[in-house]
């Protein structure tokens, strides 16, 4: 993922303090903590469970599957975007 695309999303990075490969991610200038990411993930899961309730739909399992696919692929590929019908 290139830096120009990230900046359009309001995401920037700086070097962290934990080692040479550590990065700190910022959203509109505010650092994103692991706790904040977890809280956001929880809210998104709750919303998906309400919109697409189990067992008829996948609900939050779809989000978990999406994140796993993104992790495995190293980003949101065209195939992943097509699979989840996102831009």
Q: Are 49 and 77 part of one and the same domain?
A: yes
- Structure tokens that stand for 29 in this block: 């200038």
pLDDT for residue 83 = 97
Q: Are 58 and 19 part of one and the same domain?
A: no
Q: Are 26 and 37 part of one and the same domain?
A: no
Number of domain units in the chain? 2
**Domain assignment of residue 83, given as a range:** 33-87
What is the three-class DSSP state of 16? coil
pLDDT for residue 36 = 96
CA–CA–CA angle 42, 48, 52 (5° rounding): 150
Q: Are 39 and 77 part of one and the same domain?
A: yes
Residues in the chain: 87
Banded pLDDT at 3 (limits 50, 70, 90): confident
Q: Are 27 and 62 part of one and the same domain?
A: no
Banded pLDDT at 2 (limits 50, 70, 90): confident
DSSP string, 42-73: HHHHHHHHHHS-TTTS-THHHHHHHHHHHHHH
pLDDT digits (tens, 9 = 90+) for 11-63: 999 999 999 999 999 999 999 999 999 999 999 999 999 999 999 999 999 99
């Amino acid at each position: 993922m290139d830096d120009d695309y990230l900046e359009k999303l309001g995401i920037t990075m700086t070097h962290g303090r934990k080692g040479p490969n550590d990065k700190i991610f910022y959203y509109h200038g505010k650092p994103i903590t692991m706790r904040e990411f977890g809280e956001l993930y929880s809210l998104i899961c709750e919303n998906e469970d309400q919109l697409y309730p189990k067992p008829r739909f996948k609900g939050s399992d779809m989000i978990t599957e999406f994140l796993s696919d993104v992790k495995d692929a190293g980003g949101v590929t065209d195939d992943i975007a097509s699979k989840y019908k996102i831009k």
